[in-house]
Chain A
Amino acid sequence: MSDSKFYTVLFFSVMVTFIPRVIPFFLAKYIKFPSWLTIFLRYLPLTMMTALFFQNIFEVNTQNHLLGINMKAVIAILPGLLIGYFKRSLMLVVILSVLSMAIIRYFT
């Protein structure tokens, strides 16, 4: 890999990442959002977090190429979800998930 290739890729990658991210901030001042878009944006955090989370739970089986569920991940997540639900703490979910996964890996 040459230096010039790296810098070219870096430059264009930054552009295609940065521009779509900041455009909405400048559009928002001039455009009145229609009501359907407001509703769309209200539910987007829910659907996006759902998709981002379950993407980590689904996994492709290498033998039959079917999409399955990563049971190890599900088991490791459960204590965090349960206690996180009662304590309403993001930090607890993260720490308990890491701990459970470490314990599961130690015994398997």
Chain B
Amino acid sequence: MTISKIQLQEFMSGVKASLPTMLGYISIGAAFGTIAGSAGFSVWYVFLLSSVFYAGSAQFIVVNMLAANASISSIVLMVLLVNFRMFLQSLTVTQVFPNQSRFSSLLMGGLVTDESFGILSISKMADKKTSVPWMHGLNIASWFIWWLSCTSFAIIGKQITNPADYGLDFALTGMFAGLWLLTSVSMLEHPNEKKTEIVGIVIVTTVLLYLFMYFFSSVVAVLLASVLGSLISIYIVERRKK
């Protein structure tokens, strides 16, 4: 397999596009490394969890549940539930990049995250150039920073002062706020979309989330609210056509 100069350029521009995720990944990775390290997980375990498993919030859940001596089946079931939204995200990504080679599919499917998915969506809607090498650059850079940060902070362990003191734990919330803002704005300004419908979809999803959070854990609530919100969008859009 040869890589052309253009592909390399696209890859590097994907790496650049991952920049906004870096701060969030470093700080949350630091939190994970510190927590897992102080819970008695070895640096090697932290490396495996963050590089091979690579699952963000699900890593915290696994460490918590293992430390609490939960059963293997309950941990795996929880992970399946928490990560199931990735199935839907992958389904969306395949619409953007169909017809990839087997290797490329495995690489992209394995490394898509909430954040890289968000960056893909806003870049696409802003009519920025996206391509398969670009997506790989974005994904691989994010993956690399994540496990590097988790593992480094597992080594430093408890010596580090609390990252929350500097508001750094808030970086991921800021990240999602930004992704939400830019996704909403680009959909609002899209010529094929109706503003009232977009606002309606955002409100419906938020209300659904609020209600679901009473009855389910927040990960399940996020999954249910986004799926139901999108299903209601179909109804809203189809109604307009008639």
Q: Which A residues form the contact surface with B (CB < 8 A)?
A: 1, 5-6, 8-10, 12-14, 16-18, 20-29, 33, 36, 38-58, 60, 67, 73, 76-77, 80-81, 84-85, 88-105
Contacts and interface: CB of A to CB of B under 8 A. Distances in A.
A99 B89 CA distance: 31
Interface of B: 19-20, 23-24, 40, 45, 48-49, 52-55, 58, 62, 66-67, 69, 72, 75-76, 79-80, 83-95, 98-100, 102, 105-106, 108-110, 112, 114, 117-119, 121-122, 126, 164-168, 170-185, 187, 198, 201-202, 205-206, 209-210, 213-214, 218, 221-222, 225-227, 229-231, 233-234, 237-238
A81 B181 contact: yes
Contacts of A88: 126, 182, 185
B229 A41 contact: no
B200 to A, nearest CB: 11
Given A40-B231, A97-B173, A58 B213 contact: yes
Contacts of B52: 10, 14
A9 B75 contact: yes
Contact of A51 (B98, B109, B226): B226
Contacts, number: 275
Given A13-B53, A39-B233, A47-B230, A18 B110 contact: yes
Given A21-B90, A24-B109, A47-B226, A84 B84 contact: no
Most chain A beta carbons < 10 A, residue from B172, B176, B202, B209: B176
Q: Does more than half of chain B's interface fall in helix, strand or loop, or is it mixed?
A: helix
A12 B76 contact: yes
A92 B12 CA distance: 21
Contacts of A10: 48-49, 52-53
A42 B75 CA distance: 32
A16 B227 CA distance: 20
Contacts of A13: 53, 55, 58, 62, 75-76, 79
Main secondary structure of the interface of A (DSSP, over half): helix
A56 B114 CA distance: 14
B20 A54 contact: no
8 A-B pairs with the lowest CB-CB distances in the bound complex, closest first: A97-B174, A93-B178, A102-B167, A22-B109, A101-B167, A47-B229, A25-B105, A43-B233
Given A51-B206, A55-B221, A105-B165, 12 more contacts: A23-B109, A24-B90, A25-B108, A43-B230, A45-B117, A47-B226, A47-B233, A52-B226, A67-B214, A94-B174, A98-B168, A99-B167
Contacts of B210: 54, 58, 67
B185 A85 contact: yes
Given A14-B53, A33-B95, A53-B180, A20 B76 contact: no
9 contacts: A10-B49, A41-B88, A41-B92, A49-B121, A52-B180, A56-B173, A80-B174, A97-B177, A105-B167
A73 B58 CA distance: 23
A85 B181 contact: yes
B111 to A, nearest CB: 9
